[in-house]
């Protein structure tokens, strides 16, 4: 083996190792990737009838294993699939929610406001509930990559008024956004989340 070729191989191996270490460190240290449950929260999880052998299980048997062929098929459809229809061909109209409208809570009428994708503001009997407030620019743990929002928000997390409760259905990035939650933490006293999901500080 010639020396320049060997040096190139060593360099590639080093870069792969460095990337793997950086990726593992990022996932371990960054709050948007979550953390292992511990203490009282772990005990509550372990007592759930839907928890066995160190993991939650579906009530209906569901095969979650795509297998090697399934992953290859999924990856190829992402890379070589119909990319034309993955983004809108025109600007999506958005109706901004005015600040004075947000200061008024309907007393008796039920008002449901769609905030985009998974996020809804529900006002009912003088109470405000916020569902899956993904109010960030990307459905991703990283600010510089991942699916980007196609249009502006009708209201930002910072503009949101006080809400009585925030409900989170699950922890996919298109339903749960760390930045949104951190901004909303000052606007509510109650977060309702699935058992396996802990709150970030």
In a domain, 66, yes or no: no
If pLDDT is split at 50, 70 and 90, which confidence band does 82 have?
A: low
How many angstroms separate the CA atoms of 48 and 67, rounded? 29
- Residue 191's pLDDT is 94
The mean of the pLDDT values for the chain is: 84
Contacts of 30 (CB under 8 A, 6+ apart): 141
In a domain, 166, yes or no: yes
Domain count, the chain: 1
> Does this model's pTM top 0.85?
no
Cβ atoms of 181 and 175 within 8 Å: the answer is no
In a domain, 108, yes or no: yes
Contacts of 162 (CB under 8 A, 6+ apart): 128, 187, 188
Q: DSSP assignment of 175-186, as one string?
A: T--HHHHHHHTT
Q: Is the pLDDT of residue 81 over 60?
A: yes
Per-residue pLDDT reduced to its tens digit, 83-137: 677 788 888 888 898 878 888 877 778 999 999 889 999 999 889 999 999 998 8
Cβ atoms of 184 and 166 within 8 Å: the answer is yes
67 phi/psi in degrees, rounded to 5: 80, 170
Range of the domain at 112: 99-192
In a domain, 118, yes or no: yes
More confidently predicted of 150 and 119:
119
Q: Is the pLDDT of residue 138 over 60?
A: yes
CB < 8 Å & 24+ apart, contacts of 106-113: 113/154
In the chain, % of residues over pLDDT 90: 22
Per-residue pLDDT reduced to its tens digit, 18-51: 887 777 776 666 777 777 788 888 898 899 988 8
For range 9-19, the mean pLDDT: 84
Residue identified by tokens 């509550």 is 44
In a domain, 82, yes or no: no
Contacts of 180 (CB under 8 A, 6+ apart): 133, 134, 135, 136, 157
116 phi/psi in degrees, rounded to 5: 110, 135
In a domain, 173, yes or no: yes
More confidently predicted of 54 and 187:
187
CATH number (domain holding residue 152): 3.60.15.10
In a domain, 71, yes or no: no
How many angstroms separate the CA atoms of 196 and 47, rounded? 12
In a domain, 128, yes or no: yes
Contacts of 148 (CB under 8 A, 6+ apart): 137, 138
């Amino acid at each position: 083996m010639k020396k320049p070729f060997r040096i190139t191989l060593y360099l590639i191996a080093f870069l792969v190792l460095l990337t793997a270490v950086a990726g593992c460190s990022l996932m371990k240290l960054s709050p948007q990737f979550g953390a292992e449950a511990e203490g009282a929260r772990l005990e509550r999880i372990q007592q759930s009838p839907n928890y066995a052998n160190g993991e939650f299980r579906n009530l209906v048997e569901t095969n979650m294993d795509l297998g090697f062929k399934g992953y290859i098929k999924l990856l190829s459809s992402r890379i070589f699939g119909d990319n034309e229809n993955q983004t809108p061909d025109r600007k999506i109209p958005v109706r901004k929610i005015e600040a004075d409208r947000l200061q008024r809570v309907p007393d008796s009428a039920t008002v449901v406001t769609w905030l985009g994708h998974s996020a809804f503001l529900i006002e009912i009997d003088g109470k405000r509930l916020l569902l899956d407030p993904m109010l960030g620019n990307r459905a991703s743990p990283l600010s510089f990559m991942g699916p980007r929002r196609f249009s502006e928000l009708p209201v930002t997390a910072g503009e949101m008024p006080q809400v009585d409760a925030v409900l989170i259905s699950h922890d996919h990035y298109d339903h749960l956004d760390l930045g949104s939650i951190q901004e909303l933490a000052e606007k509510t006293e109650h977060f309702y989340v699935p058992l396996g999901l802990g709150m970030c500080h």
